[in-house]
Every structure is written in structure tokens, then in C-alpha cells.
Amino acid sequence: MNVSSYYKEKGQDAVLEAYYRSEADIPLVFVGFLNAGDTLDSLKTLKTQLDHTYGTREVHFLYQLPREQVLEIFKKATLFLHASHEEGFPMVILESMQFGIPFICTDVGNVRDLCAELIINSPLEMATKINALLGSPDYYNQMSQELHYTIKEYTYEKIVGKVESVIQD
């Protein structure tokens, strides 16, 4: 699963390539809210090219869904894949953690603080990490539990408390 506006900077092309290079046998679902230029069309064209190279895979491109539907998709997701080129504080990563969904992400924003082990730098690294998580239920469950535990440190009360302590210092 990937939730992000359809902008080239969001790296959905890298997510798509990683998915095709992986051994995943589950569908890939993209959920986008905005579409910059021809990004969505470019992704669909890339999917067709990757289908020819790797064989047809199940990929869904969803657009402008109501928030409730996005949350339902999160509840059914197995992995969250994010390859953005730059982010400040990617809230979608925190949302995936809230649902106990392991994420695989580029090194953007504060993601390294959340789980450095799941940081990747290329589609090939993402494909390898997809295979590792989906190929080992023990590893998958360990990551899911660790991320769900970590998210408890990111409540508004704790974040405000940290900000207040920095201001007071």
C-alpha cells in the first residue's frame, strides 16, 4: 500500500518498480489525493511496461477517496511502501504504525528515528526488504509489534511535552 498525492517527488514510480522486482503475491494499492501534471498517467504507463518485463501484477490506482475509505484500506494492508524524495514528518508512516503495518521507506524526515532497519535507498533495496518481511512471519510480526509500540511515543501529549521542554531549555 502507498498513500500519497500523485507527485513525482513522492516516488511512486520507485514503489511500483520495487513491487515488480519483489516476490510479493499480494496486490499493490496506491491511494492518491492530488495529481500533479501527468503523474498518475505516467504511473499507469510504467505499470504496463513493468507488466511486459516481469509479468502482469495486480496494481490498483485509487484517487480522491474519502478519509473513511482510506482508513479501511489501511486496516486491510500488509505493508506500507513509501519512497518519497523529501518529507518533513510523514504522517502516513505514523498512520501505518498505528495499524501495526510495517513500513518500508526512504530516509526522509524523522523516519530513521522510527525504525532505521526499514529504511531503503533504492527500488532494489525495497524489493529485498519486501521479500524479507513477507517471507518471514516471525520477522514481520516482530517489526509490526515494535512499530506499534513505538507509535505510542508519538501521542500529541508526548510531542507537546517534548516541544515544551525544548522551549523551556
pLDDT band at 162 (very low <50, low <70, confident <90, very high): low
pLDDT band at 159 (very low <50, low <70, confident <90, very high): low
Burial class (CB in 10 A: 0-12, 13-18, 19+), 23: exposed
Q: 12: helix, coil or strand? A: helix
What local confidence, expressed as pLDDT, does residue 40 receive?
A: 97
Alpha-carbon distance of 114 to 90, in angstroms, equals: 11
What local confidence, expressed as pLDDT, does residue 90 receive?
A: 85
- Listed in sequence order, the residues at least 6 apart from 124 whose beta carbon sits closer than 8 Å to its beta carbon are 18, 21
pLDDT band at 18 (very low <50, low <70, confident <90, very high): very high
Query: What CATH number should be reported for the domain holding residue 17?
Result: 3.40.50.2000
What local confidence, expressed as pLDDT, does residue 166 receive?
A: 65
Query: What are 21-74's pLDDT values in tens digits?
Result: 999 999 999 999 999 889 999 999 999 999 999 999 999 999 999 999 999 999
What local confidence, expressed as pLDDT, does residue 58 receive?
A: 98
Q: What's the pTM?
A: 0.89
Kindly report the number of other CB atoms within 10 A of residue 90's CB atom: 22
Query: What are 103-152's pLDDT values in tens digits?
Result: 999 999 889 989 999 999 999 999 999 999 999 999 999 999 999 888 87
Q: Please report how many Cα atoms fall inside a 13 Å half-sphere around the Cα of residue 13, on the Cβ side.
A: 13
Secondary element (H or E) of residue 3? strand 2-3
Task: Give Rg (Cα) of the chain.
Answer: 16
Q: Is the dihedral of CA 86, 91, 96, 98 positive or negative?
A: positive
What local confidence, expressed as pLDDT, does residue 156 receive?
A: 60
Residue 60: domain span: 2-168
What local confidence, expressed as pLDDT, does residue 168 receive?
A: 76
Tally the domains of the chain. Answer: 1
- Listed in sequence order, the residues at least 6 apart from 52 whose beta carbon sits closer than 8 Å to its beta carbon are none
pLDDT of residue 87 exceeding 90, the answer is no
